[in-house]
A = this chain, B = another copy of it.
Amino acid sequence: MALKATGIIVEYNPFHNGHLYHAAQAKKRTEADIVIAVMSGNFLQRGEPAFIHKWARAEMALHNGVDLVFELPYAFATAHAPTFAEGAIRILDAARCSTFCFGSEDGDIAPFQRSLHLLQQSGGQYEQAVKDAVGRGLSYPKALNEAYLAVATTVPVDEPLADLSKPNNILGFHYMEAAQAIGSTMQAITIPRIIAQYHDDAIPGNQIASATGIRKAFFQSDGLQAVNAFIPETTRDILLDWQADQRQFGSWSTLYPYLRYTILREGPDQLKMIADITEGIENLFIRAATTHSTFEHFMEEVKSKRYTWTRIQRMLTHIFTGFTYSMRQLMPAPSYLRLLGMTAAGQRYLNETKKRMKLPLISKAAASTDPSLQMDIHASNMYALGIGNNQIGSDYDRHPIIIR
């Protein structure tokens, strides 16, 4: 019988005990033989540079229950939730996963299915309500939730819907929506999130903390000492190696001098061509960059009710990497499966499934001229320069990590 794979959608920034639990649960509940993770590269969905680069994060995963890691291309990894979700689901579907598995607040799939059905039945009413709310000046996530609640009241439902005010539930919902949209046969499974909420700080003694909390504790107190309890030993070793080699961890504070220089070098006409830049916000960026020498103060000036922090950070990510609207048009859907690493079991699955995969498998970037792949390599170079790593270009001819 063919090996069975379950797919998960991850960032691992960095990999921690909660991720370990999630990968193990995904495998167990779906009775899969292997776990495939589709993972963001060096820039993440919330519009931030990764704490450490994708190769180190893939290695952490392969030591801790994940068998294959594919890179979610830049254009999707740094997009808003619906596009992020569609990119990730297309990759898991192309890799022939039987199931995909996401964390949610309650761990019950039925409310998601009902919500999905409800919105599909709403006949445009939902989309119109979103549009109206955005028109009234609401941020996109707030508008979505308001429209969703409005639609929910118009249809008699005696069973609970998914709570789409929670970040993880929203992503899960978009995964299901995307799977249905592309006609995937993958079955959706959800696992309850345990203990830590997304933004929770790392609490000593509590063995599971969010990645955000771990990074915060790391930067604010005495580094790895403060987060040891929340991460697997291999994560710790990889972070120690990174610290010794690179000296700097990725953050907007680290990259800000380059971002600031670029905002001021470009000027409004060129900034307008950058993906996601809308409605004169380029002038606000230029004003704030002229005044402020820290990222923190810059963000204080540019944040507003109209734009979520995340949305602004995504614009800044695209400014930093030079990703334009016209470049994005060249990559409407994932066009390859870029393998970052594999275990022995992952390799067996690849050998068995390779020919049936729906997208070409890329083990070495140098072999392809796909514009999306070029952008992934480019983003890696920009990340390396931003954190002061002079050894750029290595992404181009690097082989996948193999963990046996």
Determine how many copies of this chain the complex contains. 2
Residues of B within 8 A of A359 (CB): none
Q: Say whether A265 faces chain B, with CB atoms less than 8 Å apart.
A: yes
Interface centre among A257, A261, A267, A392 (most CB of B within 10 A): A261
Contact A392:B290 (CB < 8 A) given known A258-B258, A260-B385: yes
Q: When the two chains form the complex, which single residue of B266, B291, B381 contacts A264, counting CB atoms closer than 8 Å?
A: B381
Residues of B within 8 A of A390 (CB): 293
Is the beta-carbon distance between A262 and B264 smaller than 8 angstroms? no
Is the beta-carbon distance between A265 and B321 smaller than 8 angstroms? yes
Contact A261:B386 (CB < 8 A) given known A267-B322, A322-B266: yes
Q: When the two chains form the complex, which single residue of B258, B261, B393 contacts A382, counting CB atoms closer than 8 Å?
A: B261
The CA of A266 and the CA of B323, in the complex, are separated in Å by 10
269-292 of chain A: CB within 8 A of chain B: 270, 290-291
Residues of B within 8 A of A393 (CB): 290-291
Is the beta-carbon distance between A381 and B290 smaller than 8 angstroms? yes
- Chain B residue with minimal CB distance to A289? B392
- Chain B residue with minimal CB distance to A264? B381
289-308 of chain A: CB within 8 A of chain B: 290-291, 293
Is the beta-carbon distance between A382 and B265 smaller than 8 angstroms? yes
Residues of B within 8 A of A382 (CB): 261, 264-265
- Chain B residue with minimal CB distance to A388? B257
Residues of B within 8 A of A262 (CB): 261-262, 265
CB 8 Å contact bits of A375-394 with B (1 = contact, 0 = none) = 00010011001101011110
CB 8 Å contact bits of A313-332 with B (1 = contact, 0 = none) = 00000001110000000000
- Chain B residue with minimal CB distance to A265? B322
Residues of B within 8 A of A388 (CB): 257
- Chain B residue with minimal CB distance to A273? B270
The CA of A390 and the CA of B291, in the complex, are separated in Å by 9
User: Top 10 nearest A-B pairs by Cβ distance?
Assistant: A293-B390, A265-B322, A261-B385, A290-B393, A258-B261, A264-B381, A265-B382, A290-B392, A266-B322, A260-B385
Hey, which bits of chain A sit against chain B, CB under 8 A? 257-258, 260-262, 264-267, 270, 290-291, 293, 320-322, 378, 381-382, 385-386, 388, 390-393
Knowing that A261-B386, A270-B322 are A-B contacts, what are 14 other residue pairs whose CB atoms are under 8 Å apart, sorted by A's residue number? Answer: A258-B258, A260-B385, A261-B261, A261-B382, A261-B385, A262-B262, A264-B381, A265-B320, A265-B382, A266-B322, A290-B393, A291-B393, A293-B390, A293-B391
